[in-house]
Structures are given as C-alpha cells and as structure tokens.
A and B are shown apart, each in its own frame.
Chain A
Amino acid sequence: MDMPILSITAFAPLLGMLIIGLIPKAKENLIRWTALIATFPSLLGAVKIFMDFDRSSAAIQFQEGPFNWIPAFNIQYYFGLDGLSVTMVILTALISTICILASWKVTKQIKGYFALFLLLETGMMGTFMALDFFLFFVFWEIMLLPMYFLIGIWGGARREYAAIKFFLYTMFGSVLMMLVMVALYLNIGTFNMVAMQDQALIMSEFSHWARTLCWLGLFVGFAVKVPVFPFHTWLPDAHVEAPTAISVILAGVLLKMGTYGILRFNFQIFPDITVEMAKWLAVLGVINIVYGALCAMAQRDFKKLIAYSSVSHMGFVLLGMASFTSEGLNGAVLQMFNHGTITAQLFLIVGILYDRAHHREINGFGGMSSIMPRYAVWTTIAFFAAIGLPGLSGFISEALIFLGSFQQWPLLTTVAVSSVVLSAAYMLWTLQRVYLGKINEKYKDFPDISAREAFCLFPLALIVLVLGVYPKPILNMMMTSLDNINQVLGQHGAPLLTTFLNK
C-alpha cells in the first residue's frame, strides 16, 4: 500500500499537539520547536503533493479510502484531492508553518497556544481533504473550538466578544449545513461526496423546491465563513481582536473554506440551482467588493482596514465563480490562493508594527519607511499585490475574474471594476499615512524588521512575485477539475461562453 500522504499531512499536527500535551509548561522553547517541527510533515506532504499531482486529470487523486467508519450509517473515512482542493491544502500547510514562526514571541500560556494551533491545522487540512460529508462536517466544526480559544484567550481588548460572535455566527451556519447533510444522507443513503454528485439520483430524490432549500441551507453555512454580505459582521471583530498569527490563519485559510464549500457542495451537488442562483451570487459578490472597499477606506484601525479589504477581495471570488467561464472560475480559485498569500503578508506586517508600537491607529504613525526601511520594502510588495498591480499575483487572478465575468455580467463587472480604484485608494492612502510623511519622533528608535519576521514574509512575497509573472504552476493544477465543474454546470443550463484560456 502506498504511503497515506494525506492522512500524514492532516494528522501530523494532531500528533504534535499530543506531544506538546506531555511537555511540562515551563519548557517554553521545547514547546515552540515541537510545534514548528510538527508542521513539517504537513509542509513536506504539501511539497510532495505539489510535485506529484497529475495536472491533466480531473479525477480524485491521492485517494485514501473510502474505509468504513460507522457502518450503521454508511459513514466513511475518505480523503482525496482534486484540482479544487489541492491548492488549498498547499496554502494551508504553508501558512500554518509561517504562523508558528510568527507566533514565536507569544508569551502567554504557550503550551495551550501551540497545542490549539496544531489542532486548528489538522481541522483545516481535514476540511479540504475530506470527501465524506460527515467527515468534512466533523473537521469543519473541530476548527471552531481552537479558534474560539485562540481569539478569546490570546486576543486583544474585546477578545471575548469577538470570540463568541465568531462562534455563534459560524455555528448558526453549520447547523443549517448539518440539516442539509442529513437530508442528503436520508435520500441518497451515503455521505460520500463523490457519490452525491450523481445528478440522476439528486434529480429523482429531490424536488426542485427541496433542492433550492438545500442549496440555500448550504449556502448560508458557507456564506458565513466567506463572509458574504450580510453575514460578514463577525469578521472585522474577529480579525481585529485575534493575535497576529490567528488573523493570518483566519484571512489566509478559513475564509477560503467558505468559497471552497460553495464550489464543492453547492456547485457540484446542486448544479441546476447554482445556475439559477448565479445572478444573486454575482450580485452578492459585487456588494462584497464595493462595500468591503468602502468600509476599508473609512477605517482608522490598520488591522480593521485589512479585514475589510478581505471582505472586498473575497467578493471577487464570488463574482468569478458565478461567471461560468473558464477564466472566471479559474480566476476565482486562483484568487483564493493569492488572497491567502497576500492577506497573510498584510496581517503579518500589521503585526510587526503592533508588536513595536502596541497600537494600530493609522494616523498615529508617520515616516515609518525612514525608520524601518527594510520593513517598508516588504510592505510595499504586499500592498501593491493587494491593489492588483500587474506583475504581482493579485493582478492575474483579478484580471482573470474580470475577463470571465464581464462576458456574463457586464454591468455588475463594471461596478466591480471600480473597486480597483477604491482599493488603490485605501491602500495607497494607508501607505502614505503610515510609511511616508513626517517622522513620528516617538517611534524613531524602532528596530527594523528582524530576521525571523522577514523569514515569515519571504516565502509569501516570493510566491506573489513568481505567480505574478508565471502563474502556471498553480493555475494548471486546478484547471482540469474546474473546467469539469463548468461542464457540469453547462449541462444544467449554464450559458457557457467561449474561453480564451487554454492549458
């Protein structure tokens, strides 16, 4: 039997958590190193997946199982990757390791922090890998617990409020998802997500009305996570209050679970309803884009600004998904990946500043680029990537999304494009207020970025630069699977358009 790469990738952090549980509280460095090393198998697994993934196939790869888990309900242990999930697993592995490094300076209850963090990583990995709905749901929910504690214990001033708000919102979404899961199981007799995609079965077991209801149930569950307007209000609180590394995880990985879920469940199990709802997806996407950007512009808190920019950028994903074009869908998933790497940098950058100044008032800084010149370089890369400057990865995905969605929704896309100006505005304005201008005397002794901090940013910046000129390594991993999704949507009446994109 082959080595179960996916299980190792997913469960190595869990093992690390158990080991950390055995280490005495006082040995802080040992705990840190154990946590870091515990993420290495996942990272190596991700590298191996990246190398071995067959880019020409839309089939499930690295399949493990399905093995019987609870035969009484036909629940199975079933892991696998396709073009949709593979990039997310790579992203998760990368961001997790970086976040452990970024958490090196955490001093409060280190043991608990790293143990919960590793549990969180397992939860995220499992969510992207699971191909059994029940298994997926278990991982989806497992993630909530460490997240709640990580925000609630290690967060900022209003951490308790933010933690419970996050928990209640997500729980509300996931209970609806659970009901749909149960309904699917009762009618189809399996939790196997691949088997659930059998349209003949779905069509015969569910009336149109029932399909719409199920689609909505799933959508709300995932929309809370994305977050789609109007379910987004937990996000600014959670992002702002969470410690730096956790904000990175939240923005870098957790938000993608929402869009991943929509693509995996709504798109593939109920494609016909997706086609009917596409218009609303696009509208919600545009609301997210514009509303998020406007809110970002109004913020005075640096971190809150980044948080709202995430709302805006995740709107692009929705818009791209709803376009039924190869460009749009590929752009959407690429945007999920790119947004993960870019926002992770942005949050790290805010974190670096906060560690030194202990506040995040945008107007409270000034001339930081003269005080911390090397830090300013890293910031500039990330900021321009977020704006979508050509040559950096954000541009590729946004351009693809616009290319795709303009063919389908010209008017909405025109509105959405305006956000390019908005995002340039709030980003550059922030850059100006924080990094340029008169030097704030209070901060003139700040040390420049440390080697560890730079080391956290380096891989992310490298990816942003490389993918900005040569996106193919990531893009061709997803393309076959995503085109397949589009084909299925096309069979259910989606107006597929000709595509400029070829492999």
Chain B
Amino acid sequence: MQVLENSASFQYFLPEMILGLTLLVVLILDLNEELSKSRLIAPWTAAVGIILYVAVSLMMRVQLPAAITFHGMMANDSFTDFFRVFSGASALLAVFLSVQSKELQDVKVEYWILLLGITLGMPVLAGANNLLMIYLAMEMVSILSYIVVGYLRKSRQSSEAALKYVLYGATASGIMIYGLSIIFGVAGSLDVLEIQKFLINNPVGTGRIALFVGLLMTLAGFGYKISAVPFHMWAPDVYQGAPTPVTAFLSVGPKAAGFAILLRFTYTALAQFNVDTQVFTPLKYLDITGLMAVLAVLTMTVGNFLAIQQTNTKRFLAYSSIAHAGYMLIAAATLSTLALQGVLFYLVAYFIMNMGAFAVTIMVINATGSEELSSFKGLAKRSGGGALIAMLMAVFMFSLVGLPPTFGFVGKFYLFMSVIKAKLYWLAVIGVINSVVSLYYYLRVVKYMYFDEAEDEKSLGLKGFAFPGVVTSLGLVTLILGIYWEPIAVFVQESANMILK
C-alpha cells in the first residue's frame, strides 16, 4: 500500500478542508454586525458547508484510489468515506433540529462552530491509522462535545451533565492513552499497520500480558465513546441534561465515530485479513472476539433492562442507545466482512430511526415543555398534528425494536446474520431475547400515545412544513428502506473496504 507524503495527501483531505473553511466563514460572518443579528444565517452557512462536504466526499469516493496519507497518519479508504458521509448527514440533521428546537432559540454563533468542529473530528477519527491520531481525533470530538452538552448555561442539568461528561471523559481518555502507550511500548510503533505486522511476526507472544492490558485500556476509551457497559455511566445523565438536539447528535454521530475507530483498530491492528478467502483471522493470544462478545452481552442486557424503568424520555432514549451499541458489538465481535457490513448498515438504520425518535421528542418537548415520557400520553388523539407525529413515533419505535417492514429490522437481520455465520449461536440467542425485552419498553411509548388518555388536551400547535416534513420523510425512509434496501446494501458493501485489502 502506498504511503503518501504530506503534499500528495492534501487532495485526500479536500472535504475536511471545505468543512474547516465553513467553520471559519461562520466565524467571520458573526463579526459583521448586520449579519450576526440574523438568527438563521449561521446555521444556513453551516448547512451549505456540510452539504458541500458530503457531496465532495461522495465524489472523491469514486475518483481517488484508497491510500494512506500524511506519512501514515490517516487511512483514506472507502470506510473513511462512509463515515464522512455519515458524519455530514448526522450533522446536517443536528443543525436542522437545533434550529427547530425551542431550547436552543438564542444560541450564539459558537454553537454552530462547535457542531462543525465535532463533525470535522468524526471522519478523522474514522480514518485514523496511528495511535496518536486516534487520540487526537478522539479528544477533538470529546472536548467539543463537553462544551455543547453544557451549552445551556442557565440550566443546572445541562451544566451538571457537562461536568459529568468531562470527568468521565477525562478518565476514559487518560486510561486509553495509557493503554496506547503500553501498546506502543511493546509493539515499538504508533502506526496501526506496523502494530499488526509486529503481532503477526510475534507468534510466541512476547509481552502478551502487557499487550492485553494495553488493549483492555484502549478498549475502555473506545467503549466510553460508544457508551458500552461498563463505560456507559455518563450516558444517561449527559443525554438527559444536554439540549435535546445535541443529545440526538451525540447518540448518533460521535457514537458512530467511536464504532468506526473500534472497527478499524480491531480489524486492522488485531486481525489479519486474507484477501483471497475474505476472512479475518484474529491474531493469536489476543482473544478480541471473546472480549467484545462479553462487552456486547453486558451492554445489551444492561441497556435494555434499565430502559424499562425510565420515565424521562431522554434518559429512556439514552438506555435504548446503549442497548443498540450492544447489538452492534455482537456483530463487531465476530471479526468478519459480513460483520463489518452489518455494523455499517445498522449505523445507517440506527441513524435514521434514532434521529427520527429524537425529532419527535423535540416536537413534544416544544409543545408541552415536558421531558417526561408521560407527556406522550394520548398523543395520537391530540389536535395540532398529534395523529401524524404519533404515527411517526410508532414507526420509529417499531424500527428500533426491529420489526419488519422497517429499516431497523433489516439492520438486525444483518447483525444476527454475521453472528450466526460466526457460529456464535449463544450470542445470537442472547441478542434476540434482548430485542424481545426491548419490545416491552418501546411498546410502552406506543401504548402511551395510542391507548392512554392525554393528561393535557391542549393542541400541540404544530406549525409549518419544514419540521413535520423532515420527520415524515425520515419515517417514510424507515419504511421504504425496510422493504427495499438494495441500494444501501450495495453502498455498505463498497464501504466495508478497509485499506488492508
């Protein structure tokens, strides 16, 4: 594989440069007194920049061959491109939701800059090919996230969430960098591919215990990002305290970036890929499959069982998102091409249905001012758009359960397929039983909306076309892709190509 030097690498970094430029433009716009008065100019500029970013990424995907850039710092392959598109799309929706949410009515320009910054960090994390790069990108995403979580300065909850997030985050990244340094110490290189080479040429297992400890610590860092149990403690509080659009974004974007680096690290550094047979072989004396399987089971089970008793919508969605990380982990644990596709596919599905669920939550919070699940009661019967948004929420809930004909079902189908293919039947059975458990609490929302009487008969007062229109299209996409998902299947197939092949 060709390793490009800096000057040749810049063309690969064009999309990120566009995003960086957008960030600067937004900053400069704010200096003009006239323009800074307009509330919408900054988000619009950000949105245009993000769209441009996604468009250029998609173009580059076709035109430029995969390469390792910046002297081995970054891997620019279709896997990275996938996360460019993914980050862009989730940021775009986050910008939209932020504009629509009443919580964020008087945000200043720095909010959009922070969002753009996180968006910039995510694909870099997905493409990081060097331990230092991994750490830097991770911190870029994390530190900016701390600030947006605490963005509502006047809200105690928001500040508390930010503080918790910082404390957990700092600890996790401290542990991770310690782990990375151990790996560096044993393997003698920061380059992920060099580490793999070291492991392949080290069949006797020199320094295996140190390596294992280092790996565990690194996984703690990744686990924190994807909110895997037992590194999940921050998630419910942060999800609850953060402004809802930010929560929506955190639950999808940075989580996906966490999965990206987890996959890249485990699938390149810790496994060997045979191009002819298309099989990943985990490297000896590091039982990464077992480790991730245990994490997966814990994550699913804890997420699902704790979600049952939640009464706050955002906390509820936090536990649900922990459970979904668990589903993706069971596939990731199997180290196979199919699992790689499965996780990417599930991320797309999860992105759409989770964003949809959060969007409806924002609508309900806008209308009722309450974040309690009970504010969903009787939603279907309330005037002012109740019937529509209840139906949409039901679609998203069923999709999160994984019932056909929704996109979420297809996602689960992919995940379980890779688990069965790896012959980890016990893992598959635990997984499906977990999804039966999840049915119970997702149905509770449906029950509130359709079976219960509203506590408050007031009209929801849903106005305009933009917000309901976007959420309706998310619902339609959930259904349409649940019936015909061939385009996504092909896209994911192409994207599951890491540079090693």
**Which residues of A are found within 8 Å of B404, using beta-carbon distances?**
137-138, 141-142
Give chain B nearest CB distance to A150 CB in angstroms. Answer: 11
Judge whether B451 is part of the interface by a CB distance below 8 angstroms: yes
Contacts A137-B404, A149-B450, A164-B447 given: A179-B428 contact, CB under 8 Å?
Answer: yes
Cβ contact within 8 Å between A70 and B486: yes
- With A141-B404, A178-B413 as known contacts, state yes or no: A164 contacts B440, CB within 8 Å: yes
Q: Can you name 5 A-B residue pairings with CB atoms under 8 Å?
A: A72-B493, A141-B404, A153-B451, A168-B436, A182-B417
Per-residue contact bits, chain B 393-421, to A (CB 8 Å; 1 contact, 0 not) = 00000100101110001000100110011
Q: Does B500 contact A (CB under 8 A)?
A: no
**Closest 6 A-B residue pairs measured CB to CB?**
A175-B432, A72-B489, A138-B404, A141-B404, A182-B420, A172-B436
A66 → chain B closest CB, angstroms: 16
B429 at interface, CB cutoff 8 A: yes
User: Are A152 and B439 in contact, with the CB atoms below 8 A?
Assistant: no
Interface residues on B, range: 20 to 34
Q: Smallest Cβ distance from A385 to chain B, in angstroms?
A: 36
Q: Does B210 contact A (CB under 8 A)?
A: no
Give the residues in chain B near A148, CB-CB below 8 Å: 443, 446
Partner of A141, one of B403, B484, B493: B403
Chain A residues in contact with chain B, CB under 8 A? 69-73, 137-138, 141-142, 144-145, 148-149, 152-153, 159-160, 163-164, 167-168, 171-172, 175-176, 178-179, 182-183, 185-186, 213
In-complex Cβ contact of A183 among B420, B447, B489, B490 (8 A): B420
Q: For the complex, give the distance between the alpha carbons of A179 and B405 in Å.
A: 17
Q: Given A70-B489, A149-B450, A160-B447, is A138 in contact with B436 using a C-beta cutoff of 8 Å? A: no
B28 at the interface (CB under 8 A from A): no
A159 to B450, CA, bound (A): 12
Q: Which residues of A contact B420 (CB under 8 A)?
A: 179, 182-183, 186
Closest Cβ of chain B to A189, distance in Å, is 12
> Which residues of B from 477 to 496 have beta carbons under 8 Å from A?
484-486, 489-490, 493
Partner of A178, one of B405, B416, B425, B486: B416
Q: Which residues of A contact B446 (CB under 8 A)?
A: 148
Q: For the complex, what is the distance from the CA of A448 to the CA of B403, rounded to whole Å? A: 44
- Does B433 have its Cβ within 8 Å of any Cβ on chain A? yes
Write out the residue numbers on chain B whose beta carbons fall within 8 Å of the beta carbon of A171: 401, 403, 435-436, 439
**Minimum distance in angstroms from A362 CB to a CB of chain B:** 29
Residues of B contacting A176 in the complex (Cβ-Cβ under 8 angstroms): 429, 432
For chain B, residues 282 to 336, give those with C-beta under 8 angstroms from any C-beta of chain A.
none
Contacts A153-B450, A186-B417; is A145 near B436 (CB within 8 Å)?
A: no
Number of contacts between A and B (CB, 8 Å)?
75
Residues of A within 8 A of B405 (CB): 138, 141-142
Do B489 and A73 touch (CB < 8 A)? yes
B435 touches A164 (CB 8 A): no
Having A141-B403, A149-B450, one finds 8 other A-B pairs with CB under 8 Å, namely: A142-B405, A167-B439, A171-B401, A171-B403, A175-B433, A179-B420, A182-B416, A186-B421
Given A142-B405, A152-B447, residue A72 in contact with residue B490 (CB < 8 A)? yes
How distant is the Cα of A175 from the Cα of B485 in the complex, in angstroms?
21
In the complex, A346→B479 CA distance in Å? Answer: 38
Task: State the CA gap A163–B447 with chains docked (Å).
Answer: 10
Establish whether residues B451 and A160, one from each chain, have CB atoms under 8 Å apart when the complex forms: yes
User: A213 to chain B: which residues have CB within 8 Å?
Assistant: 425
Expressed in whole angstroms, the Cα–Cα distance for A468 and B425 within the complex equals 48
Q: Nearest chain-A residue to B482 (Cβ)? A: A138
Task: Give the interface centre of B417, B440, B490 by most chain A CB atoms within 10 Å.
Answer: B417
Distance in angstroms from B492 CB to nearest chain A CB is: 9
Cα separation A159 to B409 with both chains bound (whole Å): 27
Q: Quote the shortest CB–CB distance from B385 to chain A (angstroms).
A: 15
User: Which of A73, A164, A182 is in CB contact (< 8 Å) with B443?
Assistant: A164
Contact partner of A71 (CB less than 8 A), chosen from B401, B425, B447, B486, is B486
Say yes or no: A175 contacts B413, CB within 8 Å. Answer: no
* A148–B490 alpha-carbon span in the complex (Å): 34
Asked, given contacts A70-B484, A71-B486, A144-B403, whether A168 binds B440 with beta carbons under 8 Å apart, the answer is yes
Q: B404, B435, B443, B450: which has the most chain A beta carbons within 10 Å?
A: B404
- Choice from B417, B435, B484, B490 contacting A69 with Cβ under 8 Å: B484
> In whole angstroms, what is the CA distance A185 to B443 when docked?
30
Q: Which residue of A lies closest to B492 (CB)?
A: A72
State in angstroms the CA–CA spacing of A145 and B403 once bound together. 9
A209 shortest CB reach to chain B, Å: 11
Bound complex: CA A185 to CA B417 (Å): 9
Cα distance A71–B447 in the bound complex, in angstroms: 37
Contacts of B447 in A (CB 8 A): 152, 160, 164
Q: How far is the CB of A488 from chain B (nearest CB, A)?
A: 26
Which chain A residue shows the least CB distance to B434?
A175
Contact in complex: A179, B416 (CB < 8 Å)? yes
The interface residues of chain B lying within 8 Å CB-to-CB of A145 are 398, 403
| In the complex, chain B residues 97-144 whose Cβ is within 8 Å of any chain A Cβ | none
CA distance A171 to B398 in the complex (A): 12
Min Cβ gap B235→A in Å is 26
Question: Known: A152-B447, A178-B413, A186-B417. Is A168-B439 also a contact (CB below 8 A)?
Answer: yes
Q: Which residues of A contact B436 (CB under 8 A)?
A: 168, 171-172, 175
Beta-carbon nearest neighbor of B486 in chain A: A70
Chain B residues whose CB sits within 8 angstroms of the CB of A164 once the complex forms: 440, 443, 447
Q: Min CB distance, A160 to chain B, in Å?
A: 5
Q: Is the CB of A167 within 8 A of B421?
A: no
- A221 shortest CB reach to chain B, Å: 11
Residues of B within 8 A of A182 (CB): 413, 416-417, 420
Distance A176 CA – B425 CA, assembled complex (angstroms): 11
Q: Give the nearest-CB partner of A111 in chain B.
A: B387
In contact, A152 and B451 (Cβ under 8 angstroms): yes
| Least CB distance, A119 to chain B, in whole angstroms | 11
